[in-house]
Amino acid sequence: MPDEDLVELKFRIYDGSDIGPFRYSPASTVAMLKERIVSEWPKDKKIIPKAANDIKLINAGKILENSKTVGQCRTPFGELPSGIITMHVVVQPSLAKAKAEKDVDEMPRKHICACSIL
Contact 29, 67 (CB under 8 A): yes
Which residues are CB-neighbours of 13 under 8 A, at least 6 positions away?
A: 19, 41, 42, 45, 89, 91
The residue-averaged pLDDT of 18-42 equals 89
* The pLDDT value given to residue 118: 66
Read off the pLDDT band of 110 (50, 70, 90). Answer: low
Residue 103 has pLDDT above 70, yes or no: no
Read off the pLDDT band of 70 (50, 70, 90). Answer: confident
Q: Among 10-14, 25-29, 65-69, 73-77, whose mean pLDDT is lowest? A: 73-77
Domains of the chain: 3-105 (3.10.20.90)
Give the alpha-carbon dihedral of 14, 55, 95, 101, to 10 degrees: -50
